[in-house]
Amino acid sequence: MDLVWTLCDGNPQLFYQIVNIPFAFLFYCLSRKGHLSVINRYVYLTLGGFILAIVTMGPFSLLLFFSAVLLLLLIHCLHPTHNHQWMLGLQMCWQTCWHLYLQYQLYWLQETPDSRLLLAISALMLMTQRVSSLSLDLQEGTVTSRFQNSRPIAFLSYSLNFPALLGGPLCSFNTFVQSVDCNATPSLAPYLGRLTSKIFQVLVLVSVKYPLKELLKSLTFRINSACVCQNIIWIWILSLLLKMNYYVHWKISECVNSAAGIGFHGYSGSGKPSWDGLSDGSPWVTEASSRPSAFARQWNRTTAAWLRRMVFKRSNRSPLFMTFGFSAWWHGLHPGQILGFLIWAVTVQGDYKLHHFLHPKLTSRWRKCLYVCLNWAFTQLTISCVVVCVELQSLESVKLLWSSCIAVFPLLSVLMIIIL
């Protein structure tokens, strides 16, 4: 266990996710061997989530249980066409109350919040995704709300199942039900191959973090330093390290879901197991994105798809800014988060305008290569500003950015919007 704790770098959320893998593997084995009926599979997943919440969050697990009960009550009492507005509104208000309480502790009382509360709020944000996705499915008619057979336990299991309790990726209700109900689970060889591949990716990402930490320590950040490039490189490396924390968390969460067989729903035409893209994205593809808009689509892919479905496609005015504004609200409305998502929205808008202006002029191969290289560097530096603002949360992140002159790059996006 000490080795696992060291691997997790002292992060309890990652530690609990790694501990979840054997229980998810046991669920897969019992289901595949036919030792669990469909109802018992839902009970296993729900009971596992219930126990995990109590063990990891203590009394703050009530935050999640309240949302799960609220979901069942709204499904039972309201017509499907009205369910989504009530579910999303009440859930976001409930989540926002706890985010504001967290800010009250941090900025007013100057206290360090309980780690169990932080874990509960993080899990509550993930539950908001699941229950709002389900309520929209009910409204659109892709899921029936009739309480029959195993439906109530399926709704409860979807909101509280232990593979998704502490981490993504977001799985639709229909995919979840197909994964649990499906008897044609993948054979052991491709299943173990996929799981081994995910674990190997986690180990690679963890190993990359250590040289980044040493490199960050070797460089010195000096306020108002004459060496502007060194400060900018320091901020960029810091953002890379922060992004690595996300990548490791996403891949471990994918391991838990893969170990439980969540996301599998049959075979493709070629005979390969179909997992329906249940992934938050590839770190290599994300970091190679040469445009801020492409980075936004690849970053935390299932959450990006959820935001697009919840806000972007349903907004009549300024859908881009409404989407990033809602994302800031969902993340907690810390000062740094509001600024970070504003920078991201402006950067993506500027990228659209610049690409529309320059694309017809990229007539030769060298021009295209130059555009891709410069835009990749610009994407990396502007996203560094976003990550530092969102992660540091307070206004101290703004001072850090301005003292490094890296804030010039988001301002270039503002100029693009004005000029182009």
Average pLDDT value over all residues in the chain: 87
pLDDT at res. 410: 87
When pLDDT is cut at 50, 70 and 90, the band that residue 103 belongs to is: very high
Q: Measured between alpha carbons, how far is residue 48 from residues 1, 164, 171 in Å? A: 20, 11, 18
- Percent over 70 (pLDDT), the chain: 90
More confident residue, 91 or 1: 91
Domain ranges of the chain: 36-168, 188-419
When pLDDT is cut at 50, 70 and 90, the band that residue 4 belongs to is: low
User: Is the CB of residue 13 less than 8 Å from the CB of residue 119?
Assistant: yes
Calpha distance 403→420 (Å, rounded): 29
pLDDT at res. 170: 93
Residue 382 confidence (pLDDT) above 60: yes
When pLDDT is cut at 50, 70 and 90, the band that residue 362 belongs to is: confident
List helix spans (H) across 261-334.
283-287, 292-298, 301-310, 319-331
Residues belonging to the active site: 300, 331
User: Is the CB of residue 244 less than 8 Å from the CB of residue 237?
Assistant: no
pLDDT at res. 255: 92
pLDDT at res. 196: 87
Calpha distance 159→8 (Å, rounded): 26
More confident residue, 393 or 378: 378
When pLDDT is cut at 50, 70 and 90, the band that residue 350 belongs to is: very high
Residue 418 confidence (pLDDT) above 60: yes
Which range is most confident: 106-110, 145-149, 323-327, 354-358?
A: 323-327
SS3 at position 267: strand
| Region for residue 282 given its phi and psi (left: phi exceeds 0; alpha: psi -120 to 50; beta: otherwise) | beta
pTM of the model: 0.93
What digits encode the pLDDT tens for the residues 219-271? 777 666 667 788 888 899 999 999 999 999 999 999 999 899 887 666 666 66
User: Is the CB of residue 129 less than 8 Å from the CB of residue 170?
Assistant: yes
More confident residue, 7 or 56: 56
CA atoms within 13 A on the CB side of 84: 18
When pLDDT is cut at 50, 70 and 90, the band that residue 2 belongs to is: low
What digits encode the pLDDT tens for the residues 281-306? 889 999 999 999 999 999 999 999 99
User: Is the CB of residue 72 less than 8 Å from the CB of residue 64?
Assistant: no
- Percent over 90 (pLDDT), the chain: 53
Six-digit token string for 304: 């990006």
What digits encode the pLDDT tens for the residues 41-51? 999 999 999 99
Instruction: Taking the CA atoms of 236, 238, 244 and 246 in sequence, report the sign of the dihedral they define.
Output: negative
When pLDDT is cut at 50, 70 and 90, the band that residue 118 belongs to is: very high
418 residue type, one letter: I
